[in-house]
Structure 1
Amino acid sequence: MMLHAYGMGGTIRTVVNQANAMVALGHEVEIVSVVRRREAPQFAIDPRISLVTLVDQRDGRRPDSFGRKAWRRLRGKIVPRGEFAADYFTERVEWAAMEYVSGLRDGVLVTTRPALNLISARRTPRSVIRVAQEHMNLSAYPETIRREIARHYGRFDCVAVLTRTNQAEYRRLLPGTPVVQIPNAVHKADQEHSRQVNPVVVAAGRLVPQKGFDLLIPAFAQVVAERPEWRLRIFGTGPRRTQLAGLIEQHGLGEHVSLRGRTERLDQELADASVYALSSRFEGLPMVMIEAMTHALPVAAFDCPTGPRDVLTDGVDGLLVPPRDVDGLAAALKRLVADRDLRLRMGLAAAETSRAYAPEVVMPRWDDLFSRLAEGDRPGARFEPSL
């Protein structure tokens, strides 16, 4: 169950990949999209998968009832303030999600963000195996969310997180609750490798404060001052496009930095580049970074919570610098762009690291977890699916 199966983004892509892998293994799979705002999914969904929409918003969102403010104070209101997607959860949307999970009687329900996890914890019948999938580190959530997680996630049969760091966080908060670490999988591990011939740095993600492109642009200005032939291409859409365009102009980088918007050929863009930059203020598990590593791209990244350090080994397959350290990020980028041999060496190591996130490595862990839960295996907090 996911918020918007028809949208773009790393979480949507990885959940669709997971569903495709599960149906390929012989499972009966249904993707539940709480809302729908596009005609067709942006990622390929196996035709054997049933795709269900709860609230169709292609003609726009319907206004809530007159009693919305009162409803927020009632017991029916579950999604707390501070949920990153709280604006999606109108009265109609939240009730539709609650009604759907309440009507389930068996099978495994996997929910994929705090709002849906909390709805599942409080409304899904106990006859259903309930798995909460968390794509973000616990410390990134505001106190309103962490408090509800601590209060309700103990009802789940299992909580699945992406990194060992996340696992430790959730185990401290949820003693006695099974918390397993299974990373997201890339869609394909064997990708075309960068030939390290184009002076191009790539970054990708939603144009929102979390992704830190406002920090990357001034860092790249320092690169251009020494290496004017290099270019930065930022892929993604979002509400901060105008502000970022202004920042590019402010630094005089109109010929050096471009906001490329959404692309359907990101794999080729990565293969054509020479460096990947991760400037996020926080992450769950940075999947586009790992996708870049499948193309043998070395990475310059902020050591933000969480994800980069769980994947990268500093000095081996990338360079880690302190969070939000613009000068440090600039220095890492300058080191990489100045040394092609270093990029080739780190790129090969990055491609090797990325193999741990191949579908054929990750997906059997989900299959094993679901099988063991279906057999009634609900062990304590030290449970790990077999590899």
Structure 2
Amino acid sequence: MTGRDIFFVSNNVDEMGGVTTWSHQMARLFAERGHRVHVIGVVPAPEELRADLGADLPYKTTTLYDEHPPKAVPAARGIKGRLNIAEQRRRAARQAGMEEQAAKLSALFRAARPGGMVIVTQVWAMEWVALADTAGLPVVGMTHESFDACRKSSRFNRVKKYYKDVDRLLALTREDADLWIRQGMDNADFMPNPLPVTPEVPSDRTAKVVASIGRLSDEKGVDLLLDTWATVAPGHPDWTLKIYGSGEDEEILKKQADTLGLADSVEFMGRTDDVAGALRGASVFAQSSRAEGFPLSLMEAMASGVPCAAFDCAPGVHEIIRDGEDGLLAVVGNTAELARHIDALISDKELRDRLGTAARENVQRYSTDRIVKRWEDLFALLER
């Protein structure tokens, strides 16, 4: 069947980050295949984190709230809680607001033609979808992080509560899906992220540059990368670490680089809209994240033929990188091991070329055609 109505429902339509990138990539891919796509955000992204989506998107976008609603008020406990009229009013006002926005979702869903699908990319957004009328529409709930990262967060109990009765709960890897099944989520399955793009011209791996791309936040572990580079840099004074990205930790990280004596060998490049160009100008890619889902930046580097040295921080990482075959993995937080891997890739051009060539070829198992076909097969299965 062609021409489905496909709804993507997320926390935001336009907040910088992997989920937004994924949502709009998939929306574009489905629109190109003749589907009618609608990307829906619950709240507007904060101004400072807003991504530029460009003009003339080939699909609709909608944001339910004009401004962020009040945060949830914890349930009243004991007599004192029950007598707190102000809290009761806040809870009632928030619930009424949620139901009002869910009614907008219901109207959109009811207008869908047969074969429609609802894909909820983040569990917070599912709280509104759960209040909406989804009759006749299969609902797919997604978790774009590893099981372990989710378990350490407040999202864990929400996933178990709000995704329990959806038609499919999709993790990013089979390993994580199995862990969700052990939690009693019998609807769990997995769906990898698609490769964003394969550049026609890969890196020739001659530039004396190690690149890192990601948000400058604690989760991405750029502080650990700087500690790692402090070990590597003295042996390779003609090499530079280029860090692409922006975020709340930028000033702290720049001070750390200065303290470590790395001012001459580290460049903070800021955000880039030309990821392919940044990777083409690098010979090694480093990823030092403390947590990941199914990292697009690793896939982009591999597609550019740039060998990766990364912390094995999630099933998605060792699903993408085959250690020793098309990249090198280190134990999370072990900066000495990561330093050895980066040093080996810098020192040995033959190793760089072997791993980089294998990476560019192997990552094609996540090509857009293959992943979209998996989605289409899932839609057909859920429609039965």
TM-score range, shorter chain: 0.7 to 0.9
Within the candidate set 11, 16, 19, 1:11 is matched to 19
| Aligned-partner Cα distance in 1 for 2:248–2:61 | 29
Q: 1:170 Cα deviation (Å)?
A: 1.7
Within the candidate set 18, 23, 36, 1:28 is matched to 36
Which deviates more from structure 2 when the two are superposed, residues 208-217 or residues 181-190? 181-190
Question: Cα gap change, 1:102/1:264 in structure 2, threshold over 3 Å: closer, same or farther?
Answer: same
TM-score normalized by the length of structure 2:
0.85
SS at match of 1:343: helix
Within the candidate set 358, 367, 380, 1:371 is matched to 380
Aligned match of 1:151: 161
Within the candidate set 202, 219, 237, 1:193 is matched to 202
Residues 120 and 130 in structure 1, CA contact (< 8 A), matched pair in contact too: no
Which deviates more from structure 2 when the two are superposed, residues 225-234 or residues 63-72? 63-72
Q: Which amino acid aligns with 1:17?
A: Q
Within the candidate set 285, 288, 305, 2:297 is matched to 288
| Aligned-partner Cα distance in 1 for 2:181–2:71 | 38
| Aligned-partner Cα distance in 2 for 1:12–1:343 | 32
| Aligned-partner Cα distance in 2 for 1:225–1:96 | 60
Q: What is the aligned residue count? A: 357
Within the candidate set 263, 266, 272, 2:275 is matched to 266
1:171 to 2:181 alignment: yes
Q: Which amino acid aligns with 1:100?
A: K
Residues 293 and 354 in structure 1, CA contact (< 8 A), matched pair in contact too: yes
Question: Cα gap change, 1:149/1:53 in structure 2, threshold over 3 Å: closer, same or farther?
Answer: closer
Q: 1:257 Cα deviation (Å)?
A: 1.0
| Aligned-partner Cα distance in 2 for 1:45–1:117 | 28
CA offsets, 1:49-89, max 9 Å, x none?
A: 111122345xxx68789988546766966xxxxxxxxxxxx
Aligned match of 1:138: 147
Q: Which amino acid aligns with 2:155?
A: I
CA offsets, 1:130-169, max 9 Å, x none?
A: 1102111122123643223223322101112211222112
| Aligned-partner Cα distance in 2 for 1:64–1:154 | 23
1:276 to 2:285 alignment: yes
Unaligned ranges ≥5, structure 1:
78-90, 377-387
Aligned match of 2:330: 321
Residues 13 and 43 in structure 1, CA contact (< 8 A), matched pair in contact too: no
| Aligned-partner Cα distance in 2 for 1:28–1:68 | 44
Which deviates more from structure 2 when the two are superposed, residues 188-197 or residues 311-320? 188-197
SS at match of 2:36: coil
| Aligned-partner Cα distance in 1 for 2:313–2:155 | 20
Q: 1:171 Cα deviation (Å)?
A: 1.8
Question: Cα gap change, 1:281/1:27 in structure 2, threshold over 3 Å: closer, same or farther?
Answer: same
Q: 1:324 Cα deviation (Å)?
A: 0.4
Residues 123 and 155 in structure 2, CA contact (< 8 A), matched pair in contact too: yes
SS at match of 1:319: strand
| Aligned-partner Cα distance in 1 for 2:351–2:366 | 24
Q: 1:10 Cα deviation (Å)?
A: 2.1
Question: Cα gap change, 1:184/1:277 in structure 2, threshold over 3 Å: closer, same or farther?
Answer: same
1:235 to 2:244 alignment: yes
Residues 118 and 153 in structure 1, CA contact (< 8 A), matched pair in contact too: no
Question: Cα gap change, 1:253/1:124 in structure 2, threshold over 3 Å: closer, same or farther?
Answer: farther
SS at match of 2:194: coil
Q: 1:285 Cα deviation (Å)?
A: 0.4
| Aligned-partner Cα distance in 2 for 1:238–1:150 | 31
Unaligned ranges ≥5, structure 2:
1-8, 74-84
Aligned match of 2:76: none
Residues 202 and 277 in structure 1, CA contact (< 8 A), matched pair in contact too: yes
Q: Which amino acid aligns with 1:218?
A: D
1:302 to 2:306 alignment: no
| Aligned-partner Cα distance in 2 for 1:369–1:69 | 43
| Aligned-partner Cα distance in 2 for 1:171–1:44 | 39
Output the aligned Cα RMSD: 2.7
SS at match of 1:276: strand
CA offsets, 1:329-369, max 9 Å, x none?
A: 11111111001111011000110121011111111111221
| Aligned-partner Cα distance in 1 for 2:241–2:326 | 20
Within the candidate set 100, 105, 127, 2:104 is matched to 100
| Aligned-partner Cα distance in 2 for 1:211–1:96 | 37
| Aligned-partner Cα distance in 1 for 2:23–2:319 | 20
| Aligned-partner Cα distance in 2 for 1:267–1:228 | 25
Which deviates more from structure 2 when the two are superposed, residues 145-154 or residues 285-294? 145-154
Residues 228 and 336 in structure 2, CA contact (< 8 A), matched pair in contact too: yes
